[in-house]
Amino acid sequence: MRVGLFIPCYIDQFYPQVAIATLQLLEKLGCNVSFPLQQTCCGQPMANSGFAGLSKGCDKNFVKNFSGFDYVVAPSGSCVLHIKEHLEDQGHPKEAERIRNNVYELTEFLTDILKVQHINASFPHSVGFHNSCHGQRGLHLSSMTETMLPAFSKPEQLLNMVKGIQLSNPERRDECCGFGGTFCVFEEAVSVKMGKDRIKEHEVNAVEYITGGDVSCLMHLEGILKRKGSSVKTIHIAEILNSEL
């Protein structure tokens, strides 16, 4: 099974430890992983700002980098959703379509493709889980409180395999954190207020860490936590699943 590792640009630049954990985890689980060296960005920042027309260059580069893999896997629900919904390449429409169908967010790849039943990991800490909207409502990684359908959660299913972890959910278990891409700067006041409110609910549960499947949400929450001098840390789910026993 040839897996192309897609590392979103801001993870590559600012959170290499998340990418390393993702790579090591997939390798441990027996995947043949490679990281195409010329990858950049999925194009989402432009597209979500109304400039989808400007993301064609990113699309082309993405298709060039990720053609020929059985699966493309990334530790980000948001970027995967963007690729799934919007990747186009007029020069290589078949390849673009194949990628759209074979791109997976890390936790859904683990539960749905690798069908992971056990994980050799230990994380003896109190951890609050943050549902990222694009992973949850876009990729359906877990059930949503708005809909009247049976409850499930792919990321929590995996976290529950980790030894020693004390997992909790905030009272509003799937409210948006307010990151929202460029929303976080163009609507700064609402964005920060939303983030502060999320944090408050996790603090009630006395968590040491807040985790989730999207570094973007975590980066936003981390920025607020650090500013207020909180001892609560953020950590990506891949880092917990990859933590040594």
Partner 1 sequence: MAKHAALSEKFIADEPRTDWHDETLWFVRQKRDKAAHGLPGWEQLRELASQIKNHTLSNLEKYLRQFEQQAKANGITVHWAADGDEHNKIIHDIIRKHNIEKIVKSKSMLTEECHLNEYLLHQGIEVVDTDLGERIVQFRKEPPSHIVLPAIHLKKQDVSETFHKYLQTEKGNNDPQYLTEAARQHLRDKFIQSELAITGVNFAVAETGGFVVCTNEGNADMGAHTAAVHIACMGFEKIIPKAEHLAVFLRLLARSATGQAITTYSSHFLKARRGQEMHIVIVDNGRSKQLGRKDFRNSLKCIRCAACFNTCPVYRRSGGHSYHTAVAGPLGSIINPNMDMKANADLPFASTLCGSCSNVCPVKIDIHEQLWKWRQVVVAEGYVDASKKTGMRGMAYILAKPGMYRFAGKMGRWVMRTFPFMINNKLNAWYKQREMPEVPKQSFRDWYLKNRGK
95 binds partner 1 (CB under 8 A): no
Query: Binding segment for partner 1 among 104-112, 116-124, 158-166, 174-182 (CB under 8 A)?
Result: 174-182
How many CB atoms sit inside 10 A of residue 149's CB? Answer: 9
CA 85 vs. chain centroid, Å, equals 16
Reference 96, options 67, 74, 56; nearest CA is: 67
Binding mask 45-64 for partner 1 (x = CB under 8 A): xxxxxxxxxxxxxx-xx---
Query: Binding segment for partner 1 among 66-74, 120-128, 184-192, 204-212 (CB under 8 A)?
Result: 184-192
Sole binder of partner 1 in the list 3, 26, 73, 133 (CB under 8 A): 133
29 binds partner 1 (CB under 8 A): no
Sole binder of partner 1 in the list 3, 4, 11, 162 (CB under 8 A): 11
Cβ atoms 18, 215 nearer than 8 A: yes
Give dist(CA 158, CA 75) in Å, integer. Answer: 14
CA distances from 32 to 26, 69, 118, 144, 207 (A): 8, 10, 19, 33, 35
Query: Binding segment for partner 1 among 3-11, 92-100, 107-115, 120-128 (CB under 8 A)?
Result: 3-11
Judged by CB under 8 A, the chain residues 186 through 215 that form the site for partner 1 are 186-195, 197
